[in-house]
Structure 1
Amino acid sequence: MDFDLSEEQRLLKESIDRFAADHQRDPGQHGAAPDDAALWNGLAGLGVMAVPFAEEDGGIGGGPVETMLVMEAIGRGLITLPYLPTVVLGGGFLRLGGSAAQRQEFIPRIADGSLKMAFAQLERQSRYDLHDVATSATRADGGYVLNGRKGVVLGGDAAGLLVVTARTAGARRDAHGITLFLVDADAPGVSRRAMPAQDGQGLAEIGFDGVQVPAERVLGTVDDGLGLASHVVDTALAAICADSLGAMEALQQLTVDYLKTRQQFGVSIGSFQALQHRAADMLVAVEQARSMAMYAAMMAEEPDPVERRPAIAAAKAEVNRCGRLVGEEAVQLHGGIAMTWEYRAGHYFKRLTTAELLFGDTDHHLRAVLQHGGLVEEV
């Protein structure tokens, strides 16, 4: 299999890598930076907001590989802008399940940077289960009325449009009866409380109290939204793997540079064989994560969930493991400086730790692989 990038992909990688290097987040920053709006517009100006969308919808016709290149650079630069919730998640719902009218209305606004989105799915009781939905949507006046609460909504603090899971039929944990809605974040009855994640990304707790949603804002098929949600989340998991890979690459290189410059007993500590072995383990973990991130990117668009789900779950579990190893070794090899707020190492570890829990921790994804019979069929 040819893993070489095409000319267009190479140019995209060079431009986004250069942008991320020039706009790396200051480790000492708390919350949103004053230039976040300019940074967001800069990303839009590069065309990366339009990467995954078809040309007829206002995009540039890219795919999971292009998304991987962008997310890898974003992770390497510790960029906390809501690219994942807006382009990958929100845009993914529009791309895979939106009507022609919905795509025409919203995708050009995502592509030019004027619209931010978020996926409001997680509830207090749901843990990582997409099918555990208590938020209700009842029919009224030709549309629906939403009631419920969603928590830990990634990008929900700044989103102008929300993709919301709500139950239109069945019991709380039934797979059938889940419907997806496009809801304006400033609609009457919507309330939200913003908060930061530990890595600096924006989160929100969002409430829906009698929120009226017209029928044309239903995304996909009524009562049958779980399949679409699962597919979009799998594409997001592939993107998260790439983001973690970028953070791991930067953290591993930062650690090696530190080992070369830190002096002890009159020599650089990188000359000690035991530390060289641990640095080598970090490099092996990074390369393992790279392989799994590429595998996830290749499987993200697989329409058959029986094939896609265990592949994505296996990739996320392995990238989680590698990220944990790289993060812990970096802190150990740096010593106390890695835990200071002003130094980048601890922030990369926070990034990896946050990514490890997004849409399922390692145990959750390992169970998913086992439930699907593993990656290799028994002979």
Structure 2
Amino acid sequence: MLAVPTPEQELLADTVRSLGAAVGVRNPQDLDAFQHEKAWAALAGTGLLGLRVRDDGQPEASGVDVMIVAQGLGAQLSPAPFLASAALAIELLELAGADRPLIDAIAAGDAQPGLLLDRGLTGLADITAGDGGVLIGGVHSDHALALRGNQVVRVQGPFGPGGGADLTSRTTRIAPGTELSATGVGEPLTPEAVRRWTALALTLVSADCAGAMRAAVDGVIEYSKQRIAYGVPIASFQALQHLIADAFTACEAAVTTTSYAAWAIDAAEPVEALLAARTAKAWVGAVARNVVETVMQIYGGIGQTWEHISHVYARRALLDVALFGDENYQLDQIFDLRREVG
């Protein structure tokens, strides 16, 4: 694995950053005026929605490339549902061998499906259980992707208004017993395909969280250099230096573990890719809350107000921790997976 980004990957990261005003938010007030259609069109116009579209069986972009985009959008607190409605939706349809028009519509920005997860947010919902679930992504979608056994299905909406603790993401709860109209898509998924998709899902959510954490820490570092207390910048206080150093180190480790998981998606065997992804998600889940809470504490009084951006970072990170299982869930899964492979 080459740990240094290529020139093309650095350009990709710069491209995501350049979209800032169109796809991201800088303060809570921006959320009220956020233009979802404009953001989705901006991502489609730069080709970012179709990164996992296959060409002769090979994705147009590697797992590392998609991770870079997810991390950049997380850093900008983008409300555009890139992960659920583009990268993960296309990957799922490609692995199922779905019809090309379905995939091309998402890549072009003409479709925005959601993902229906189980009630515990640990994976795709199996609609045969009748337990309902939680819809993520698909801000303006009338359908979502789920499973019926090992068959990918399109579940028809409408699903009602979304909400949730994370102000930058739509989540809609589907009550148990709700009758869902579903149509099969492609061929049944193989166990290897399920592992590949799960590895990508865990990696991208970890990248989104790592991006949000790192941006929050970078912001409070700059603040600590400018905030004056007792006649000196608060960055000179040793207690705060230790808090910031610990948060920064945790973010760096999150980026490192996620980068390896992203490389493994295409380069390693499915079981190894899944182990790497679960390891990254376990680490992110273990440190995210402490990092974002530390950031809010260093901001002091202003960091505890609704008008400040710090609580938006915290909400984003905490939802990412829950998506596809927190650290305790991942550790249990890692134990089972290692016992399975010996």
TM-score, reference length from structure 2: 0.89
Amino acid in the other structure paired with 1:64: G
Structure with the higher fraction of residues in helix conformation: 2
- 1:198 corresponding residue in structure 2: 165
- 1:74 corresponding residue in structure 2: 73
1:165 aligns with 2:152: no
1:181 aligns with 2:143: no
Amino acid in the other structure paired with 2:11: L
Q: CA deviation at 1:23?
A: 4.4
Seen in structure 2, the aligned counterparts of structure 1 residues 90 and 330 have a Cα distance that, compared at 3 Å, is same
1:109 aligns with 2:105: yes
Structure with the higher fraction of residues in strand conformation: 1
**Residues 57-97 of structure 1: CA deviation (Å, up to 9, x unaligned):** 9x981111110111111001100111111112211111222
Cα separation, 2, equivalents of 1:151 and 1:330: 32
Structure 1 residues without counterparts, runs of 5 or longer? 137-146, 167-176
Q: Cα RMSD over matched residues?
A: 2.8
Amino acid in the other structure paired with 1:278: L
- 2:61 corresponding residue in structure 1: 62
Cα separation, 1, equivalents of 2:174 and 2:31: 19
Seen in structure 2, the aligned counterparts of structure 1 residues 300 and 60 have a Cα distance that, compared at 3 Å, is closer
1:39 aligns with 2:39: yes
Preserved contact between residue 120 and residue 153 of structure 1 (Cα < 8 Å): yes
- 1:4 corresponding residue in structure 2: 4
Q: CA deviation at 1:249?
A: 1.5
- 2:334 corresponding residue in structure 1: 369
Preserved contact between residue 180 and residue 219 of structure 1 (Cα < 8 Å): yes
Partner of 1:164, secondary structure, is strand
TM-score, reference length from structure 1: 0.81
- 1:312 corresponding residue in structure 2: 277
Preserved contact between residue 130 and residue 230 of structure 1 (Cα < 8 Å): no
Amino acid in the other structure paired with 1:13: A
Structure 2 residues without counterparts, runs of 5 or longer? none
Q: CA deviation at 1:280?
A: 1.1
Among 224, 242, 247, the residue aligned to 1:282? 247
Preserved contact between residue 278 and residue 329 of structure 1 (Cα < 8 Å): yes
- 1:17 corresponding residue in structure 2: 17
Preserved contact between residue 91 and residue 107 of structure 1 (Cα < 8 Å): yes
Among 179, 182, 186, the residue aligned to 1:209? 179
Preserved contact between residue 25 and residue 79 of structure 1 (Cα < 8 Å): yes
What is the number of equivalent residue pairs in this alignment? 339
Q: CA deviation at 1:31?
A: 6.0
Cα separation, 2, equivalents of 1:131 and 1:203: 14
Q: CA deviation at 1:291?
A: 0.5
Seen in structure 2, the aligned counterparts of structure 1 residues 367 and 269 have a Cα distance that, compared at 3 Å, is same
Preserved contact between residue 71 and residue 242 of structure 1 (Cα < 8 Å): yes
- 1:27 corresponding residue in structure 2: 27
